[in-house]
Amino acid sequence: MGALLAAGAAQAQQTANHPDPQDEPIVADSPKPFPDGDPTADGKVSSSASGTVTEQALVVQTIPGMPPVPDIHNIYSEASGPDKLSPVVAHDLERIYVPNLRGNSVSVIDPKTYKVVDTFPVGRSPQHVVPSWDLRTLWVTNNSEGHTDGSLTPIDPLTGKPGKAVAVDDPYNMYFTPDGQNAIVVAEAHRRLDFRDPHSMALKSSVEAPLCEGINHAAFSADGRYAIFTCEFGRYLAKVDTVNRTLLGMLKLSKGGMPQDVLAAPDGHKFYVADMHADGVFIIDGDSFKETGFIPTGLGTHGLYPSRDAKLIYVANRGSHMVHGPRHSKGSVSVVDVATDKVLKTWPIPGGGSPDMGNVSADGKMLWLSGRFDDVVYAIDTQTGAMKIIPVGAEPHGLTVWPQPGRYSIGHTGIMR
């Protein structure tokens, strides 16, 4: 397997030396926890030396240190509702934390009153508010957009107040390996992933992805052995071995050219990729790293969030193909049925808008999204699509809803398991 991974890395490096690679994916096989085939892929009865293994007995063989996956069909089963709130977050404030990219600040909303109750300064160009793996810190990723003063500002969820920033190079976004051993700082401008200590943020090692221009969002497989990252400005996806910290390969999408958010399906094998230029969502087989389908959703498809029962995906369509606007564009939210990969309904933003990043309330009744180019936040009723619009700072981006149900966070705006 070591030789295979080395070959994959060498092949990726070889491709980096050629500006026009072919459309076929450059991939090495991912590490396989089941040498004779993964029985968790479809949940069917599998034979073994001792007879048969019932579906109930099947388990996902996770990487060492990663919490078990109780439901092989739903990696989000432990984040399904308020009854799944961890005791760790029992005394945390109920708040919506909104990073204002151009305001260099964070707006804090009380979800009960729909009012901004606090605003505090952070570093330059805050992009996302990221819950830590252990649920004890909310990190604001201030990537400074081309400057050298990138930082992470910690927020104490007990008080809602910021602490002293930690200097970190180019933190556009941040994730955590599912075993909790590493923070992965997404250094977008450098086309690089920095594996860091999840508490001190000291650098451990880096993974270079030279073809992944604008590397930014990620999702992890069911077993935690690999992650798929999107390359916003390059029409590519990158597959990364999270255990050996190597680049496994690159996949060029068939159309579009601006992949944004990526979300693992409940089975942890299929992945959904929003593409802002394709106006829809690509379906990717993560294990084979191949494109298998496409779901048209709306103009400027951008963010992806699962419902609490993981039966639906809320798709934020930003309403424009433009990176920096305009205001009051034809933004909407599409609701996709995971079972059929079909759009069930679409909610337009009243008067136009730019829904971007966010998350779902603990009870699943409200979808919170930033209105990126309209300087607002949308609170959307997940049953009716009715919306409340709340003014915040300049260019709100990756907001998080807190607290969230779940045992641990894998990062971004609070993707919980």
Beta-carbon contacts of 20 under 8 Å, excluding residues fewer than 6 positions away, are: none
CB atoms within 10 A of CB 267: 21
Averaged pLDDT, 167-182: 98
Averaged pLDDT, 50-56: 42
Lowest-confidence range among 41-55, 103-117, 243-257? 41-55
pLDDT value, residue 412? 98
| DSSP letter, residue 56 | G
Lowest-confidence range among 102-111, 128-137, 221-230, 319-328? 319-328
Sign of CA dihedral 62, 66, 290, 294: positive
- Beta strands (DSSP E) in 35-133 are 46-48, 51-53, 95-100, 105-110, 115-121, 126-131
Lowest-confidence range among 3-12, 163-172, 232-241, 285-294? 3-12
Report the alpha-carbon distance of residue 234 to residue 404 in Å, rounded. 33
Report the alpha-carbon distance of residue 275 to residue 259 in Å, rounded. 4
- At residue 16, φ and ψ (nearest 5 deg) are -60, -25
pLDDT at 121 over 80: yes
> How sure is the predictor about 146, in pLDDT bands with cuts at 50, 70 and 90?
confident
* Among 110, 192, 203, residue whose Cα is nearest residue 152: 203
* Contact call for residues 224 and 30 (beta carbons, < 8 A): no
Q: Which residue has the higher pLDDT, 10 or 239?
A: 239
* Mean pLDDT of the residues in the chain: 89
| Tokens representing residue 356 in the block | 């971007």
> How sure is the predictor about 415, in pLDDT bands with cuts at 50, 70 and 90?
very high
Report the alpha-carbon distance of residue 296 to residue 138 in Å, rounded. 33
**Please, what's the largest Cα pairwise distance for the chain?**
63
pLDDT value, residue 26? 58
The secondary structure element, H or E, covering residue 284 is strand 280-285
> How sure is the predictor about 174, in pLDDT bands with cuts at 50, 70 and 90?
very high
Distances 272 to 49, 122, 128, 285, 344 between C-alpha atoms, Å: 36, 32, 20, 9, 16
- Beta strands (DSSP E) in 143-245 are 151-156, 161-162, 166-167, 173-176, 183-187, 192-196, 203-208, 215-220, 226-231, 236-241
Q: Which domains does the chain have, with CATH numbers?
A: 76-402 (2.130.10.10)
Using only C-alpha atoms, what is the Rg of the chain? 20
* Among 275, 289, 157, residue whose Cα is nearest residue 216: 275
Lowest-confidence range among 36-40, 158-162, 319-323, 384-388? 36-40
> How sure is the predictor about 19, in pLDDT bands with cuts at 50, 70 and 90?
very low
pLDDT at 337 over 60: yes
* Among 370, 155, 170, 361, residue whose Cα is nearest residue 261: 370
Report the alpha-carbon distance of residue 221 to residue 286 in Å, rounded. 7
pLDDT value, residue 112? 98
CB atoms within 10 A of CB 381: 13
> How sure is the predictor about 36, in pLDDT bands with cuts at 50, 70 and 90?
very low
pLDDT value, residue 325? 87
pLDDT at 200 over 80: yes
Burial class (CB in 10 A: 0-12, 13-18, 19+), 44: exposed
Intra-chain end-to-end CA distance of the chain, in Å: 29
pLDDT at 20 over 60: no
Q: Any bridge partners for residue 270, and if so which?
A: 285
Q: Is 184 helix (H, G, I), strand (E, B) or coil?
A: strand
